[in-house]
Amino acid sequence: DARADKNSLKLDVNVFKEKIVHHLRCTIGTSEKKASKLAWWQALVATANELIFDRLTQTQYTHATKDTRAVHYLSAEFLMGRLTVNNLVSLEVYNTAKSALQELGIDINELCEEETDMALGNGGLGRLAACFMDSLATLAYPSVGYGIHYENGLFRQEIREGRQIERPDSWREYGCPWEVCRPESVQEVPIGGFVETQTAPDGSIRKVWHPEHMIKGVPWDIPVVGFRGASVTILRLWESRPTESFNWDVFNAGGYVDAQNEKAAVETISKVLYPNDSTEAGKMLRLTQQYFFSSCSLRDILRRYNRTHFHDYGEFAKKIAIQLNDTHPVIAIPELMRLLVDEEGISWDAAWEIVTEVFSYTNHTLLPEALEKWPVYIFEKLLPRHLEIIYEINYRFLNEVVEAKWSGDDEKKRKLSIIEEGPCKMVRMANLAVIASRKINGVAEIHSKLVRENLFPEFSTLWPDRFCNVTNGVTPRRWMLACNPGLAELYNEIAGKDWPLHLDSCAALRPYADDPQIQKRFMDIKFKNKVALAAEIKKLCGVEVDPHAMFDVQIKRLHEYKRQHLNLLYILHLYRKLLADPAMRIVPQVFIFGAKAAPAYTLAKNIIYAINVIGDKINNDYRIRNQLKVVFMPNYRVSLAEKIIPAADISEQISTAGYEASGTSNMKFSMNGALTLGTMDGANIEIVAEAGVENNFIFGMSVKDVQELKAKGYNPWDFYNSNQDLRAVVDWLDSDFFTEDRQALASIKHSLLEGGDPYMVLADFASYCAAHKRAEEMYADKARWAHAAIMNSASMGKFSSDRSIEDYVHNIWKLKNYEIKDEI
């Protein structure tokens, strides 16, 4: 097995076996005879933890003795997925563990399936944070990830009669063996209350915050194992608990807590990932979450700094970098000002200099609905002192900076102000982030350009040097080595065994792209992965699919801008053609979907329903002779992605140009030899630049085309009326051919016509069909396809998250890494 053939930790199979059995008996409290699979898995984790904690201690010792500069990655989401295979691979004991378990009569794969995903995130942004943790540990940069210890992660999705049902995700109901509670690092965070203005005899003014409540923050540490044990860093997640002084009345008055006691009210703060924010109570809760974890993290950073610097903040900005993952932790900016000015007694100017040196902000979206704004009245209730600080930051910014540049221009001031005026005054978190950050980055070239030109044009005129790009990346350890051992073995042979650390070296496969033997080897690996996925599809969906068919995959959150319905319209188009001409032969195709919809997003849920009922109809229609299958795989998550991606032929990346900031699954698919069917959006542009446009299927409007069509006035009816095929499939949605619930499908048609088709699905339909046809034709030419698949896989060096992290390090964080010695 390519995943672990060198055991640098000198653990042989017998020793490993003894350790597992020891932990089974002495840590888990059972025996070989009685143990359940879960118990065996726990014993396996306990064995791995022996190695992990050793290395963690060595890492922390090195960093402490060198008083290193470190980055602190603040993120409301970390989508870690499962850790077992990755940690064993990174520790180079995977094969040892596998053999040891085999001798004990246990299949390691079955044990690894026992682990529940850590789904503490929604999608791309959360998984990016997890890939970055892997790279930081692998490159041995001093770093800590900070987030929230949600009791329930993203909901588990069940499909009942084609519809999404949300179920709670109790990922640690019976404990998570990777995490360690650190009571010695507990924090207390104030909230609510009022601010008193005190005037000293000399006339100077002092602000004193009298908070209403204190919330306890309990840290849970998840060790992150770098590849080959380069270093072990931590992800520190904060859990909220009540302190004695807590009074739950005010929380309860918000209405989001039905619970009858104080305990439940406070524990609600870290209970769920992003509860619905459509109600006022939900809003208060989310801002509370953001403040809670940001404040706990800053206090933790200050505590560690002061262990060696004794409240002398002269070195603070030299030792500390803080990265804000989107606007979710931006409340950390006024909180650090408050801690420095109010609690540490530093002058405003000195504190502002520190703050503007340490923070940087990553933007992940241009969608207006995702740019956070909080009503001022919520700030008044929860964070009255922070509101004052924000007003002060804003006052100085408008009167010093904006006034100097655009003297007397009130329109500019209105636009750049942190406060949005109107019937409900709002705090614009993105403006606050830009004003206080040293660097602001987008996540792909085109996105960073749009951040500069469309989102923050005045700010980028004011501070051109603050804006930069860091194109996203993904960890090849999880997304190639661990999830695709067949491909990993091929790269071991062709590129040498260090390719997971130097992904550029995979280019060594490119010269073989037309070599028939290598093509066969490459496509055999793909076929084996497709056979395995076919079995999973049978298990989860009850549908029989042929692994020889072209596997066309779209897996991502369900959003109109991602256009799953464009894909669906094409499926309807193919189906219609097959019904019209029963003798027609097409390239057999399996369309595979996975997607969760936000619980309150009705149209998104209707699209899921449509995929399911249309799939059901097609899969059971004997007339099309199994040439077409459509499956919706329930509960899409990291561990399911690891099974689907290595088996994909086509990677659907079909967002309306300008809307997908980067995408990251697009990189994972290409690495694993899928061809991209996509628009010129996000990182697709950079992917095809590396892998060759001729080896992928690009279609649709460019960002410029979209802008121009919008400017001239987009009318979806024009496309509907002038394209027979399009008209037929759109009308098909408003029929009872697929379901009794005609309304559900008709709502999709409605959004595409009366709704104005906000993401221009109809405008790109013809171009999409043409691109798909090109893909089908190429798939029929096995050698041409193999060439393209190899070229994609072998050209993804740029998209290792190690490269992204090096970009952050050199352009933003300015860190040094240190070899972690094998001693303490």
Q: Where on the chain is the footprint of ligand 26Y (CB under 6 A)?
A: 122-125, 128, 274, 364-365, 370, 372, 443, 472, 660-664, 682
At its nearest, how many Å lie between ligand 26Y and the CB of residue 786? 29
Q: Which is nearer to ligand 26Y, 558 or 661 (CB)?
A: 661
What lies within 8 Å, CB to CB, of 703 at 6+ separation is 446, 450, 657, 658, 680, 681
Q: Which is nearer to ligand 26Y, 242 or 682 (CB)?
A: 682
At its nearest, how many Å lie between ligand 26Y and the CB of residue 808? 13
Among 7, 16, 65, residue whose Cα is nearest residue 229: 7
Q: Which is nearer to ligand 26Y, 131 or 257 (CB)?
A: 131
For residue 736, what are its two tokens?
Answer: 């009872």
Cβ burial of 31 (10 Å; 0-12, 13-18, 19+) is exposed
Spatial separation of the C-alpha atoms in residues 236 and 428, rounded to whole Å: 28
Spatial separation of the C-alpha atoms in residues 413 and 415, rounded to whole Å: 5
At its nearest, how many Å lie between ligand 26Y and the CB of residue 438? 20
Question: DSSP of 523-588, one letter per residue?
Answer: HHHHHHHHHHHHHHHHHHH-----TTSEEEEEES---GGGTHHHHHHHHHHHHHHHHH-TT-----
Q: Which is nearer to ligand 26Y, 446 or 569 (CB)?
A: 446
Q: Which is nearer to ligand 26Y, 80 or 101 (CB)?
A: 80
At its nearest, how many Å lie between ligand 26Y and the CB of residue 629? 28
Report the sign of the C-alpha dihedral through residues 91, 96, 101, 106, in that order: positive
Q: Which is nearer to ligand 26Y, 123 or 211 (CB)?
A: 123
Closest residue by beta carbon to ligand 26Y? 124
Other C-beta atoms lying within 10 Å of the C-beta of residue 610: 25
At its nearest, how many Å lie between ligand 26Y and the CB of residue 297? 18
At its nearest, how many Å lie between ligand 26Y and the CB of residue 365? 5
At its nearest, how many Å lie between ligand 26Y and the CB of residue 715? 28
Spatial separation of the C-alpha atoms in residues 720 and 741, rounded to whole Å: 23
Q: Which is nearer to ligand 26Y, 443 or 613 (CB)?
A: 443
Write down the residue that tokens 């095809």 correspond to: 688
Alpha-carbon separation of residue 134 from 71, 83, 90 (angstroms) = 14, 11, 10
Which residue type occupies 415? K
Spatial separation of the C-alpha atoms in residues 191 and 381, rounded to whole Å: 9
Spatial separation of the C-alpha atoms in residues 79 and 637, rounded to whole Å: 9
801, 130 Cβ separation under 8 angstroms: no
Q: Which is nearer to ligand 26Y, 91 or 644 (CB)?
A: 644
553, 674 Cβ separation under 8 angstroms: yes
Spatial separation of the C-alpha atoms in residues 248 and 213, rounded to whole Å: 8
> What is the DSSP code (8-state) at residue 797?
G
Q: Would you please indicate which residues are annotated as catalytic (active-site) residues?
A: 364, 556-557, 562, 664, 668
Q: Which is nearer to ligand 26Y, 224 or 450 (CB)?
A: 450
3-state secondary structure 261-310: CHHHHHHHHHCECCCCCCCHHHHHHHHHHHHHHHHHHHHHHHHHHHHHHC
Question: DSSP of 318-379, one letter per residue?
Answer: HHEEEEEESSTTTTHHHHHHHIIIIIT---HHHHHHHHHHHEEEE-----GGGS-EEEHHHH
At its nearest, how many Å lie between ligand 26Y and the CB of residue 758? 16
Alpha-carbon separation of residue 788 from 460, 690, 696 (angstroms) = 40, 12, 7
At its nearest, how many Å lie between ligand 26Y and the CB of residue 654? 13
